[in-house]
Structure formats: structure tokens, C-alpha cells
């Protein structure tokens, strides 16, 4: 029987690297994306190069209905299978100081990141609990741990994911399902494009931004059977920026 991992926002950046890394660990990958099909297809090609298969699933994680339909559709086409690894990676940022933040930007960031965590994870819990094995890993951020100016919406969403993961970890630990977060610092992707890297690096003890592969390796560890006694935790990947 094939093993399946779902990576939300798997079309680009950290999600793509995680998808490829999990393929190398022997998983077939369900790549979710919202708008860039061409990028999702590139990830699929890399997964095939790694010797695995998968499927591209287009849905907006902020929509509970779209998400449920896509996941139910996959399950109906694959009645014998289940998704044993969930990587909640899809996320956006819409930065502004709170005094100037439009309500829409507050709501959308929470709907995608925190809403997405619920919309994707909740429908997959029952099959995972029936099989008594699973790994749920969600992309938090240093911003969710320390709070960052200009990111009240994003910090709130990421802090929410951390607390929700801790609560869920306690609910399902006895089912052999672990629930953890990773909290990247500054990682080179489209999301950090345009930031003043030289200035920011002065505050990063490692003196550089991280790579998507450095995040993917930690996610792969948390996704592995070897991480069986790690649950309800957050692992920072930030070059020493914040501990
Ligand atoms: P990215 O390069 O901007 O990629 C974002 C990914 O999320 C894309 O695959 C995008 O799909 C997908 N996505 C966005 N909105 C979505 C939605 N509503 N439904 C489904 N998919 C959606 O971002 P990244 O830097 O790789 O970040 C990935 C995750 O790590 C995010 O949760 C981010 O908050 C977190 N993170 C990043 C950093 C960093 O420094 N880069 C640091 C800390 C945490 P399309 O290609 O279709 O647009």
C-alpha cells in the first residue's frame, strides 16, 4: 500500500521543498496549491524525479467547503488509502502596523493560516485515528513566538496554530498521532523577496537567511516514525534569531 502525505501550499517555496523531501522518504505526495498550477506541476515533476507519485489538488485552504470537497474527492478515488502525514504549510502575509491594518487583511491572514489549519486537519482526523498512526506538522513562524511589529495578523495566526497544535496533540496522543509545529525565521522564498536581507542578517546570529531545504529536513524528521515521542512541540529553524 502506498503511503500518502499532503502538503498544503506545495507549489512553491518551503512547501515544494517539503514535498520533495517527503517523496525522498518514500511518500506519495498530494500537492495543494491555490492559484499557480504551473508551479504545482513543477513540484510534481520533482516528486516523480524522486521516484514517487502523487496528485495535484487545487483548493483554497481558507474555504472549509472547497477543502472538504477536494479531500473527500481524493478519498473517494482512493478508498483503500489514507493521508498519514499532513503538512499545513499554506500561508500568506499582509503586513501593516495595526493602526493602519484593513480589516480584510486581518481576516484573510487568519482565514488562510489558522482557518486553513482547521479546514485541512479536521476532516482527516477520523481516518487517521482509525488507522492509529499519523503525523501532523504545521508551519508556524518566529513571528508567532515573539510577535513582530507590522505583523499583528500573521503573529496571531501563527501563535494560534501553535496553541491549537498543542491542544490537538493532547487529544490524539494515544492514537499514535503526533502534532508538532516548526517555526522558521527568515527563509529565502517568494514570501521574503524584497525584504532588506543585509540589514535583517545583522540580527541573525548565523548571519544569513535559511534555505527551504533546511526547513524541509526538520519537517521530514517530525514526519518520520523515529519522531514518535515528540508531540505538542515547536522546533525553531532560525539561525539563532530567537530562542
Ligand atoms: P510562499 O513562497 O509565498 O508560498 C506560499 C504557498 O502557499 C504557495 O504554494 C501558495 O500557492 C500557497 N497558498 C497561499 N495561499 C493559499 C491558500 N489560500 N490555499 C492554498 N494554498 C495557498 O511562502 P513560503 O515562504 O514558502 O512559506 C510557507 C509557509 O512557511 C507559510 O505558512 C509561511 O507563513 C511560513 N513561514 C515562512 C517563512 C519565510 O521566511 N519564508 C518564515 C516563517 C514561516 P500558489 O503557488 O498557488 O500561490
pLDDT, tens digit, 9 for 90 and up, residues 56-88: 999 999 999 999 999 999 999 999 999 999 999
Q: Is the CB of 62 under 6 A from ligand 1?
A: yes
Distance between CA atoms of 240 and 219, rounded to whole angstroms? Answer: 18
- What percent of the chain stands above pLDDT 70? 100
Q: Is the CB of 56 under 6 A from ligand 1?
A: no
Over residues 135-153, the mean pLDDT reads: 98
In the structure, what pLDDT confidence band is assigned to residue 192 with cuts at 50, 70 and 90? Answer: very high
Helix, strand, coil shares of the chain, percent, nearest 5, are 50, 20, 30
Torsion, Cα 71 72 76 79, to 10 degrees, reads 70
Residue 180: C-alpha distances to residues 86, 167, 227, 235 (Å): 11, 10, 10, 8
pLDDT of residue 115: 98
Q: Is the CB of 36 under 6 A from ligand 1?
A: yes
15 C-alpha vs ligand 1 centroid, how far in Å?
Answer: 7
Q: Classify each residue of 175-202 as buried b or exposed e, where b means 16 or more C-beta atoms within 10 Å of its C-beta.
A: ebbbbbbbbbbbbbbebbeeeeeeeebe
pLDDT of residue 211: 98
Q: Is the CB of 34 under 6 A from ligand 1?
A: yes
Q: Is the CB of 115 under 6 A from ligand 1?
A: no
In the structure, what pLDDT confidence band is assigned to residue 120 with cuts at 50, 70 and 90? Answer: very high
pLDDT of residue 121: 98
Residues 5/223, Cβ–Cβ less than 8 Å: yes
Distance between CA atoms of 47 and 124, rounded to whole angstroms? Answer: 23
pLDDT of residue 111: 98
pLDDT tens per residue, range 199-239: 999 999 999 999 999 999 999 999 999 999 999 999 999 99
Residue 154: active-site member: yes
The residue to mutate among 67, 91, 119, having the most atoms of ligand 1 within 8 angstroms of its beta carbon, is 91
DSSP secondary structure, 143-177, as one string: HHHH--TTBHHHHHHHHHHHHHHHHHHHHHGGGTE
pLDDT of residue 100: 98
pTM strictly above 0.85: yes
Q: Is the CB of 141 under 6 A from ligand 1?
A: yes
Q: Is the CB of 189 under 6 A from ligand 1?
A: yes
In the structure, what pLDDT confidence band is assigned to residue 243 with cuts at 50, 70 and 90? Answer: confident
Given a cut of 90, whether residue 1 has pLDDT beyond it is no
Tell me which of 4, 82, 154, 229 is the catalytic residue. 154
- Measured from the Cα of 154, ligand 1's closest atom is 34
- Mean of pLDDT over the chain: 98
The residue contributing the CA closest to ligand 1 atom 33 is: 91
237 C-alpha vs ligand 1 centroid, how far in Å?
Answer: 16
123 C-alpha vs ligand 1 centroid, how far in Å?
Answer: 21
pLDDT tens per residue, range 25-64: 999 999 999 999 999 999 999 999 999 999 999 999 999 9
11 C-alpha vs ligand 1 centroid, how far in Å?
Answer: 9
Amino acid at each position: 500500500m502506498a503511503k500518502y502525505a499532503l502538503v498544503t501550499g506545495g507549489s512553491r517555496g518551503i512547501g515544494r521543498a517539503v514535498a520533495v523531501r517527503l517523496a525522498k522518504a518514500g511518500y506519495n505526495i498530494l500537492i495543494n496549491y491555490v492559484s499557480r498550477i504551473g508551479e504545482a506541476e513543477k513540484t510534481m515533476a520533482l516528486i516523480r524525479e524522486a521516484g514517487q507519485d502523487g496528485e495535484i489538488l487545487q483548493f483554497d485552504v481558507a474555504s472549509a467547503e472547497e477543502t472538504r470537497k477536494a479531500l473527500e474527492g481524493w478519498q473517494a478515488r482512493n478508498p483503500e488509502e489514507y493521508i498519514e502525514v499532513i503538512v499545513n504549510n499554506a500561508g500568506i502575509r499582509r503586513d501593516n502596523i495595526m493602526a493602519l491594518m484593513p480589516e480584510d487583511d486581518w481576516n484573510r491572514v487568519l482565514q488562510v493560516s489558522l482557518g486553513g489549519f482547521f479546514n485541512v486537519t479536521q476532516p482527516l482526523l477520523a481516518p487517521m485515528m482509525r488507522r492509529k498512526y499519523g503525523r501532523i506538522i504545521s508551519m508556524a513562524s518566529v513571528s508567532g513566538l515573539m510577535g513582530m511589529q507590522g505583523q499583528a495578523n500573521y503573529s496571531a495566526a501563527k501563535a494560534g496554530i501553535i496553541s491549537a497544535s498543542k491542544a490537538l496533540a493532547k487529544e490524539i496522543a494515544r492514537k499514535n498521532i503526533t502534532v508538532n509545529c516548526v517555526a522558521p525565521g527568515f527563509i529565502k522564498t517568494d514570501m521574503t523577496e524584497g525584504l532588506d536581507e543585509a540589514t535583517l542578517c545583522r540580527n541573525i546570529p548565523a548571519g544569513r537567511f535559511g534555505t527551504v531545504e533546511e526547513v524541509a529536513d526538520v519537517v521530514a524528521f517530525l514526519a518520520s516514525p523515529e519522531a514518535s515521542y515528540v508531540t505538542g512541540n515547536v522546533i525553531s529553524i532560525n539561525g539563532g534569531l530567537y530562542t
